């Protein structure tokens, strides 16, 4: 989940009642969030693998896609164009492949994963779900 969609108070209550943890005085800034490698779709992990092999951190591809004068959000069009500009061939469907999904469908599914609110753009905060997987 994107950071802005987390309900810290609810999670804190669950930790107290189900985990029997002492959460008195715990603030969100003290919590380290992470995502397990089995949670994201396979193509999200493929994208992350592509970035890891070419970049030092997850912010660099965001900046490459958003552009130098970017607005801090990536649209689907920018995402597709950015991956093309990077010469990312990870999602190209080989001729005769039986995968059943086109490149466009695969890239769109990755974008939808990164845009859980469905606003049509991926903020840097939403993008940072990839940083949780990077670590």
Does the predicted TM-score (pTM) go above 0.85?
Answer: no
Find all residues with CB under 8 Å of 87, minimum gap 6, and list them.
none
Quick one: CA dihedral 36, 39, 42, 44, positive or negative?
negative
Query: Tens digits of per-residue pLDDT, 69-104?
Result: 899 999 999 999 999 999 999 999 877 666 678 899
User: Looking at the predicted structure, is the pLDDT value of residue 3 above 60?
Assistant: no
Structure-token pair, residue 85: 């500009």
Question: If residue 120 lies in a helix (H) or strand (E), which one and from where to where?
Answer: none
Asked whether the beta carbons of 3 and 76 are under 8 A apart, the reply is no
């Amino acid at each position: 989940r994107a950071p802005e969609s987390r309900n810290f108070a609810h999670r804190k209550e669950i930790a107290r009642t189900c985990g029997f943890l002492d959460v008195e005085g715990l603030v969100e800034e003290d919590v380290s969030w992470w995502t397990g490698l089995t949670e994201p779709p396979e193509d999200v992990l493929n994208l992350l693998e592509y970035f890891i092999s070419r970049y030092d951190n997850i912010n660099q591809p965001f900046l490459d896609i958003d552009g130098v004068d970017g607005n801090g959000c990536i649209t689907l069009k920018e995402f597709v164009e950015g991956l093309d500009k990077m010469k990312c061939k990870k999602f190209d469907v080989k001729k005769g492949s039986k995968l059943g999904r086109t490149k466009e469908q695969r890239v769109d599914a990755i974008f939808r994963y990164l845009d859980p609110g469905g606003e049509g753009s991926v903020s840097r905060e939403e993008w940072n779900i990839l940083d949780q997987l990077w670590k």
